[in-house]
Amino acid sequence: MTDSNEKVLIKGNYAIAQAAINAGCQCYFGYPITPQTEIGEYLSAQMPKLGRGYVCAESEIAAINMVVGAVSTGVRAMTSSSSLAVALMQEALSYAASDELPVVLVNVMRAGPGLGYIYPAQGDYNQSVTGGGNGDYKIIVLAPSTVQECIDYTYRAFYLAQKYRNPVILLADGLLGQMMEPACFGKDPYPEVDVSSWALTGAKGRESRAIYSLGTDEKKQVQHIYNLFKKFEVIAENETSYEEFETEDADIILTAFGSMTRNIKAAMKVLRNKGIKAGCFRPITLSPFPYKRISELAAKGKDFAVVEMNMGQMFKDVKYAIDGKSRVGLINRPVGEWLSVEEIVEAVEKIMEKSYATSIQYS
Amino acid sequence: METNFILAGFGGQGILLAGTILANSFMLEGKNVTWYPCYGAEMRGGTVNCEIVVSDSDVSSVHKQDTDYALVLNQQSFDKFVHRVKPGGTIVSNSTLVEQTRPRSDIKYVFAPMTQIANELGNGKVANMAALGVLASVCGVVSKEFLAKGFEKVMSGKKKELLPLNIKALESGYNILAQAK
Amino acid sequence: MQQVFSIPKSMKKGFRYTFCPGCDHGVAIRLVAELLDELNLQDKAICSTSIGCSVFLYDFLDVDCVEAPHGRACASATGVKRARPDKFVFTYQGDGDFASIGLAESMHTALRGECVSAVCINNTTYGMTGGQLGPTTIMGQVTTTSPYGRNKEYYGYPIRIAEQIALCDGTAYSARVALDTIPHINQAKQALKKAFEVQLQGLGFGFVEILSSCPTNWHMTPQEAHIRVKEEMMPVFPLGVYKDVTTEKGE
């Protein structure tokens, strides 16, 4: 069932967990937090049967550092958590990025700031994309919009993490984690990555290896950071991915990430029926962000409306990409009920009416 | 084409299970379907509910304001969701536990004694299957045959023993309105 | 001519000694390296390193090392061991790392009975940052953040790590040793050996707390510092084996 082409009705959280198993995740470390606890529950039942590692960590801080330890030996490992607890993991992500360790972290977002509540939100765009840890580093961030994509991008997350030796965040949200949809696991489509040149396996027949971020030599540290960013340029070149719909003749392009993508697609159809030439653009990799493509579309005079469940976090990146070449409006609600298709349609009409001189914020 | 369902009742009435069975039956028919529990602050207050969106083509949008069908098993759910039904939509209610009132004139009302059907079959727990039967009899999108398959898919292993009773409840629910005529 | 002294194989060739004069880290690291040689562990060892003066461990030990953020060495070691159960996994931490910021990770690693070995240097202060009050600073001790001496009103009490770790059911071995005299150094080596062996035997968490001098931050000569270890530290932190599942002996 879970590695075949048969469709199964499955929750996003379980889908991610099973996909991790299929991707060869050898160890899972986690601490419970709604709305992603099912991932740990599922794996606590499966991993021992497969002879793989599972630890109920004492904290999220411990969990992610266990991942750091595990992946340093060349195996695939992951943790999962949600917003406020992902904040606790930022230190380790900064280390892992500097140490070039293939950490995989699933963040099933909930509302903040602070404790917030368990209803869904998209307030971790910044935390994921710009990083909440210290120093200059970059994380690869993948944002699924369906349960099927939860599976597909989990496979991709493990692959990219090892291919580029860089931490990857799978950025889902409470809705995706809790919803059930028919999905197909298939087989992990990505090739195995050779980790033998750097993995810690004991210094047998080779020199010992040390993985650390301590940079006492200023000049070397400068070069190290340049190298990290050069690597990320390669990642941006090879891996930036997005989807677009009916942008060719569009006057206005609705832009969203994650599960909000579904609603802008539906809103686009309604707007088209009303005679408004709307298109859709959806970054799949939030980092690297598809600046180039948005810039191209803006250069063709296409305006944008960014629809998101936060105070305009991705909006800033879209605006940066557009760089004054066209206009952009924000349609948002900070947390809670996803902006409905009706709300989006109404907001787009208002924004167009006011020549993008306004943002539409729903309460 | 998209059709939306809200299933609601109180904890223990098997609402989430009924929703899962319904969603599975849509999947087995080859349709796109999304199931999500009412999630967040709305979980409080005694009622349990889930939403299901079925679509012939694309994956659906999420968080509908209105629904085509509301299947409600208790009074609290009726009072809440009668206002979430689209004009022209239908609310299907468990008349054993819901008063037969019609607070709006722009929607259709279906009342059927779902809990009573289940009790008469000797197990109050199968009211949810009787409810799905009623829903199938009034909603062209839902097929009784696929509901039975959906049930089999969800109830694996030992739970399969419950199949005959549940199918009986499904059938009884499906036939109840015709009998009443 | 017979060679009577050499650098252990598990130490890096030509390393530059960067610890302060009289610091006991050098002896502790050498003991670890000697044991890696004697137990034939160099090529299967993975060390989870820590933050503090111990941060420079990978300059000295010629084994695979992965760095953990401050306090997280035991968590990282857990990850390594779960991923590679056939490897010899150990941490080398200071008291601040192990018993202050990382107390939760250390304790839970012991409670889970992870088959890893942990070495903790107790010098009653934060050495690397210049001698501040730490979890093991003893009552009355003057540090840069306890200029009037440690008192219970402002600072509470120090932790006795080896005793605490011995209380954890997953701990196979817990001992406190010192490096102030040759007999104590020999005992320390035996304790470290035991803490390594319980891992190899799959018995659980192996732990050694090492009382160490910090002449620089104590403002003492190396000799005075070792006298302090004996006269001020040992009464608070008695040497001994607090748990040993191989003999069912504990004090």
Question: What domains, with CATH codes, occur in chain B?
Answer: 2-180 (3.40.920.10)
The pLDDT tens digits for A96-150 are 999 999 999 999 999 999 999 888 899 999 999 998 899 999 999 999 999 999 9
| Count of helix runs (H) and strand runs (E) in chain C | 11, 7
Dihedral of the alpha carbons of A247, A250, A254, A255, in degrees to the nearest 10:
30
- Report the percent of chain C where pLDDT is more than 90: 93
- The stretches of C97-170 forming alpha helices (DSSP H) are 103-111, 152-155, 161-166
With respect to CATH, is domain A243-361 assigned 3.40.50.920? yes
* CB spacing of C82 vs A70 below 8 angstroms: yes
The pLDDT tens digits for A263-272 are 999 999 999 9
B1 touches chain A (CB under 8 A): no
Beta-bridge mates of residue A254 = A280, A305
Query: Cα distance from B42 to chain A (closest Cα, Å)?
Result: 9
Cβ contacts of residue A119 below 8 Å, gap of 6+? Answer: A110, A111, A174, A335, A336, A337, B39, B40, B41
Dihedral of the alpha carbons of C232, C237, C240, C243, in degrees to the nearest 10:
180
C106 touches chain A (CB under 8 A): no
Q: Which amino acid is at C208?
A: V
Query: What is the per-residue pLDDT for A103?
Result: 98
Chain A to chain C Cβ contacts (< 8 Å): 138
Mutation choice for A interface testing from B59, B84, B149 by most A CBs within 10 A = B59
How confident is residue C197, by pLDDT bands cut at 50, 70 and 90? very high
B27 touches chain A (CB under 8 A): yes
Q: Where are the domains of chain A?
A: 8-189+212-239, 243-361
Partners of C78 on chain A (C-beta within 8 Å) are 29, 55, 62, 66, 69
Partners of A77 on chain C (C-beta within 8 Å) are 79, 83
CA-based Rg of chain C, rounded to a whole angstrom?
17
Residue count (chain C): 251
**A26, A27, A212 ranked by CB distance to C67: nearest:** A212
Mean pLDDT of all residues in B97-104: 96
Partners of A120 on chain B (C-beta within 8 Å) are 39-40
Task: Report whether pLDDT(B12) > 90.
Answer: no
Task: Report whether pLDDT(C244) > 70.
Answer: yes
Cβ contacts of residue A235 below 8 Å, gap of 6+? Answer: A138, A140, A160, A164, A166, A288
Query: What is the per-residue pLDDT for C16?
Result: 87
Residue of A nearest to C56 (CA): A214
**Range of lowest pLDDT (A279-288, C139-148, C240-249):** C240-249
* CB spacing of A180 vs B23 below 8 angstroms: yes
Task: Report whether pLDDT(A361) > 90.
Answer: no
How does DSSP classify residue A117? B
Residue C72: both structure tokens together = 């997280």
| Count of helix runs (H) and strand runs (E) in chain A | 13, 16
The pLDDT tens digits for A2-46 are 667 889 999 999 999 999 999 999 999 999 999 999 999 999 999
The pLDDT tens digits for B165-179 are 999 999 999 999 887
> Is A243-361 in the same CATH topology as A8-189+212-239?
yes
Beta strands in chain C (DSSP E): 45-49, 64-67, 88-94, 117-122, 171-178, 205-211, 240-244
* CB spacing of B39 vs A336 below 8 angstroms: no
Dihedral of the alpha carbons of A90, A92, A95, A101, in degrees to the nearest 10:
-110
**Range of lowest pLDDT (A247-251, B9-13, C230-234):** B9-13
Residue of B nearest to A146 (CA): B59
Superfamily, domain C25-244? Thiamin diphosphate (ThDP)-binding fold, Pyr/PP domains (3.40.50.970)
Distance CA C39, CA C33 (A): 10
Query: What is the per-residue pLDDT for B62?
Result: 81
Residue C48: both structure tokens together = 């989870």
Q: Phi first, then psi: what are they for A269, rounded to 5°?
A: -65, -45
The pLDDT tens digits for A184-235 are 999 999 999 999 999 999 999 999 999 999 988 999 999 999 999 999 999 9
Can the peptide bond before residue A35 be classed as cis, meaning omega within 30 degrees of 0?
A: yes
Sign of CA dihedral C141, C147, C151, C152: negative
Closest by CA position to A78, among listed B98, C83, C87, C169: C83
Locate tokens 């369906």: which residue?
Answer: A146
Distance CA C28, CA C211 (A): 10
- For A151, half-sphere exposure in the C-beta direction (CA atoms, 13 angstrom radius) is 26
Q: Which amino acid is at A141?
A: V
How confident is residue C251, by pLDDT bands cut at 50, 70 and 90? very low
Question: What is the average pLDDT score of chain A?
Answer: 96
Closest by CA position to A250, among listed A277, A280, A282, A273: A277
Query: Cα distance from A13 to chain B (closest Cα, Å)?
Result: 12
Cβ atoms of residues A64 and A94 within 8 Å: no
* CB spacing of B39 vs A263 below 8 angstroms: no
Helix (H, G, I), strand (E, B) or coil at A271: helix
**Range of lowest pLDDT (A112-126, B41-55, C121-135):** B41-55
A181 touches chain B (CB under 8 A): yes
CATH pick for A8-189+212-239 out of 3.40.50.970, 3.40.50.620, 1.10.600.10, 3.40.50.980: 3.40.50.970
Q: According to the 3-state scheme, what is the secondary structure of C220-246?
A: CCHHHHHHHHHHHHHHHCCCEEEEECC
H/E stretch holding A314: helix A313-322
How confident is residue B45, by pLDDT bands cut at 50, 70 and 90? low
**C66, C104, C108 ranked by CB distance to A200: nearest:** C66
Cβ atoms of residues C16 and C59 within 8 Å: yes
Residue B143: both structure tokens together = 């097929």
The pLDDT tens digits for C203-224 are 999 999 999 999 999 999 999 9
Beta-bridge mates of residue A285 = A142
**A66, A208, A211 ranked by CB distance to C78: nearest:** A66
Residue count (chain A): 363
Chain B contacts in chain A segment 35-74 (CB below 8 A): 35
Task: Report whether pLDDT(A154) > 80.
Answer: yes
Helix (H, G, I), strand (E, B) or coil at B112: strand
Cβ atoms of residues A291 and A321 within 8 Å: yes
Looking at the predicted complex, does its ipTM rise above 0.95? Answer: no
Partners of C87 on chain A (C-beta within 8 Å) are 73, 201-202
Partners of A71 on chain C (C-beta within 8 Å) are 79, 83
* CB spacing of B61 vs A263 below 8 angstroms: yes
Distance CA A179, CA A35 (A): 11
Query: What is the per-residue pLDDT for B39?
Result: 57
**Range of lowest pLDDT (A321-325, B54-58, C25-29):** B54-58
Query: What is the per-residue pLDDT for B41?
Result: 46
Mean pLDDT of all residues in C103-129: 97
Mean pLDDT of all residues in A317-328: 96
Question: What is the average pLDDT score of chain B?
Answer: 90
